[in-house]
Amino acid sequence: MTRMLISGGIKSGKSSYALERANKLPGKKNFLATAIPFDKEMEDRIIRHKEERGSDYFTIEEPMDIHLHSKDNLILDCLTVWMNNLFYKEKEEEWRKILESFLLKNTGNIIIVTNEVGLGNIPMDPVSRKYNEYLAAANKMIAKSMNEVVFMVSGLPLWVKGNQNE
């Protein structure tokens, strides 16, 4: 069974690697997309991601209520944007309850994409510090429950937890 967290910096290859790994899973693939197309740049990015996935994936667009979706062979992309959406809608205090429910419901093959926030500086403003704190806590919660954790650096996967030969 594949239960994987893929973390790393912005544009480190996380999403592409998630697709690469998911393509090895048997059966129908599912993609839980959390992005909201709030401007032209984000619209273009979403289009590029859809093209990269092709027609091999059933896509669910869900910016906040990820816990309402339970699928096997699921990629959640991405936790970073999901947390941002909660903050934007001023529902950030609900993150733990939603994420715990999501993890309990999704017991099959799952790949979760997130950004690592622990490598940068400490933000000057309180909202950004709180965001980093919550996302870091969410990442730790997920990493603990997964059998594989991969850290992406310049498009290369580095194994943090699990066996890369499985």
pLDDT for 165 equals 67
Considering the domain 3-161 in this protein, what is its CATH number?
3.40.50.300
Q: What percent of the chain stands above pLDDT 90?
A: 81
Q: What is the pLDDT of residue 8?
A: 97
Those residues of the chain that have pLDDT short of 70 are 165-166
Supply the pLDDT for residue 106: 96
Angstrom distance (rounded) from CA 151 to CA 41: 26
pTM over 0.75: yes
Domain ranges of the chain: 3-161
Give ∠ CA 75-137-119 in degrees, rounded to 5. Answer: 90
